[in-house]
Amino acid sequence: MEKVILFYLENSNIKISMQIYFNEKDQLYFDGYDTGKSVEEAWGNSDHEYIYSIEPEEVNKFYPIFNLKDGDKSGLIQAIKKEFSVNEAYSLFGEFMLAHDIKHQRFIWH
């Protein structure tokens, strides 16, 4: 399945990359990764990773929210990209899932 970049920024201080895709377990996967001097100054480590994983039965809750046909994974990925293509995507997407009672797993490492 396609991986779609939600946000990407690279300069001399930081590299930020956020993608959304369906993994091999059919989970919706939000994968974010920051690296660089700014990250090291903020966290004491040059790598910062943050992930949401959403199980298939919870993914089904997204389709009516975005007025999509059930199972339209590509449409869902594109709708999420349209809505959350900003540097604050991880926080905003998390708030969105909480507001819509979409259960998810969250992982943060730094």
Q: pLDDT tens digits for 64-81?
A: 999 999 999 999 999 999
Q: Within a 13 Å sphere around the CA of 100, how many CA atoms are in the beta-carbon half?
A: 17
pLDDT (tens digit, 9 = 90+) per residue, 26-71?
A: 999 999 999 988 888 777 777 889 999 999 999 999 999 999 999 9
Quick one: CA dihedral 49, 77, 82, 96, positive or negative?
A: negative
Question: What's this model's pTM, rounded to 2 decimal places?
Answer: 0.90
- How many Å apart are CA 31 and CA 17, to the nearest integer? 8
Sequence-distant (6+) residues with CB within 8 A of 95 are none
